[in-house]
Amino acid sequence: MSKFEDIYFNGEWWDFNYVPVCCGFTENRKINSKDISWFKNDSIYPYYRILVNPFHQRDTWRRDMARRDVLVFSDSGGLQDLRHGTRINHIDVFKWQERNADVGFSFDIIPFDIEKQRYFTGDKFDDCARQSKEKAHDCFKIKSREDFKFYGIIQGDDIASFERWYDILKDDRFDGYCVKAVGNDPVYVAITSLFVMKRLKKPVHFLGIGNISKSIVCAYLSKYYDYPISYDSSSYDVGTQYRNYEVLPNWGFRIMKDYDNHVFPVCCCPACNEWLPISDKMIKSNDYRLGGLLSLHNMYRNVSLSHIIRTLLHDREQLDGFLKTIYGKSVCDKIKRALDILDFADKHGVESAIKTYEPLFKTLSRSEEAKTRNLFGEYDV
Ligand SMILES: [Zn+2]
């Protein structure tokens, strides 16, 4: 049995999976003889999922850099290809994914006009879906690893367009599908979830979820969807990028180069345990390992949060109470509204939920700015 099946069928392939994006953790950065990463043999804090990207890590990532118990997801680099105007060959990407990952996402033609900053509609949208399907078919033909899982990416910006793309792309040979939530409001995750509940019966991965408030809705979907759900996020990496130490969602300390006070870690995660005794010195000397440690702490915080959400999934009152303790009223209300939509869909059917919440979805879809930001916001926090 392959590793994926082993994990899947033994129930260890969790109901929902937080998948941190690999952001520059490939080089060795040790502290107290342990590596500041989560996927290596000597990691300070071992964790079991990672998303790599052949566009960014083509030359720096190899499968054997991660422990065997880490499930390695690989993006296709399609978004980066569009953004940078390069021409990546989908066969090369697929071969790289088979060598270096356990789950790969298909290389898709994103239906987005980069000059006009708008999604294609009509025939052009269908053309992109057809081209994406052809590219996936090329990959099915050369697939050599039985235990490598291949997911098809579904594009679109509302339920109707997701369905339209899916009807062209769908193929039994896909082991799962990737979906996206177009805007920053958690309700966008609920919209995508309605499509998932209505049409899909395979593992599903939410691409570029970014902020944690949206990931809570992905997690909540697992209550009503019988297949594994995963989502990737790079938001933890504010440690490396901005020297941010996250305490609660939307509440973090910023560690400055010339900060001359103590910073007291507020948690007992392995990164903080290693960091605590030497943090003053590291901050003063602007130690190159500090950013990685802060990111690892932030990641640990996200993992902890996902575990808490999992334990509260089946008690809506408790979950709402918990959300209140970590978010302000405005974000809390937005998350709760998204969860209400999924509860409604379970109780009254997906079609009825789509009809009932249509006016709300229409209001949100007018926010073009949100869509644009999200398309290019895979490192959005
Ligand atoms: Zn910590």
Separation of 290 CA from ligand 1 center, angstroms? 12
For residue 245, the CA-to-ligand 1 centroid distance in Å is 8
Residue 323 has pLDDT above 80, yes or no: yes
Q: What is the 266 CA–ligand 1 centroid distance (Å)?
A: 7
Mean pLDDT of 346-350: 97
pLDDT value of position 361? 87
For residue 319, how far is its CA from the centre of ligand 1 (angstroms)? Answer: 23
Mean pLDDT computed over 61-70 = 92
Examine the pLDDT at 16 and tell me if it is beyond 90: no
Ligand 1: centre distance to CA 31 (Å)? 15
Q: What separation in Å is there between the alpha carbon of 317 and the centre of ligand 1?
A: 28
Map tokens 């879809």 to a residue. Answer: 365
For residue 371, the CA-to-ligand 1 centroid distance in Å is 33
pLDDT band at 20 (very low <50, low <70, confident <90, very high): very high
User: What is the spatial distance between Cα 305 and Cα 3, in angstroms, rounded to a whole number?
Assistant: 26
List CB contacts of 40: < 8 A, sequence separation 6 or more.
Answer: 65, 66, 67
* CA 134 to ligand 1 center in whole angstroms: 46
pLDDT of residue 246: 85
Give residue-wise pLDDT tens across range 138-147.
999 999 998 8
Judge contact between 239 and 14, C-beta under 8 A. no
Question: pLDDT at residue 266 above 50?
Answer: yes
Number of C-beta neighbours around residue 134 at 10 A: 11
The band of 373, judged by pLDDT with boundaries at 50, 70 and 90, is very low
243 Cβ contact list (under 8 Å, min separation 6): 254, 255, 256, 257, 290, 291, 294
Distance from the CA of 271 to the center of ligand 1, in angstroms? 6
Dist. CA 335 → ligand 1 center (Å): 25
| 101 vs 379, residue with greater confidence | 101
Give distance in angstroms: CA of 270 to centre of ligand 1.
Answer: 7
CA 81 – ligand 1 centroid, Å: 35
Q: Between 263 and 96, name the one with better pLDDT.
A: 96
- Tell me the CA–centroid distance for residue 334 and ligand 1, in Å: 28
Percent of the chain residues past pLDDT 90, beyond the cut: 56
pLDDT number for residue 312:
94
Most confident of 9-23, 112-126, 133-147, 352-366: 133-147
Compute, in angstroms, the gap from residue 299 CA to the centroid of ligand 1: 9
The pLDDT, as a whole number, for residue 253 is 77
Among 65-69, 80-84, 118-122, 341-345, the range of highest mean pLDDT? 341-345
- pLDDT, tens digit (0-9, with 9 covering 90-100), for 178-191: 999 888 889 999 99
**Predicted pLDDT of residue 285:** 83
Mean pLDDT of the chain: 86
What is the pLDDT, as a whole number, of residue 379? 31
Ligand 1 centre from 276 Cα, in Å? 9
149, β-bridge pairs? 103
Torsion sign over Cα 359, 362, 367, 372: positive
Most confident range, picked from 102-116, 192-206, 288-302, 358-372? 192-206
CA 160 centroid distance within chain: 23
pLDDT above 60 (res 177): yes
Q: How many whole angstroms from 247 Cα to the centroid of ligand 1?
A: 8
pLDDT band at 366 (very low <50, low <70, confident <90, very high): low
Whether residue 302 contacts residue 235, with contact meaning beta carbons closer than 8 Å, is answered with: yes
What is the average per-residue pLDDT within 320-328? 93
- Determine the pLDDT at residue 381: 27
Whether residue 377 has pLDDT greater than 60: no
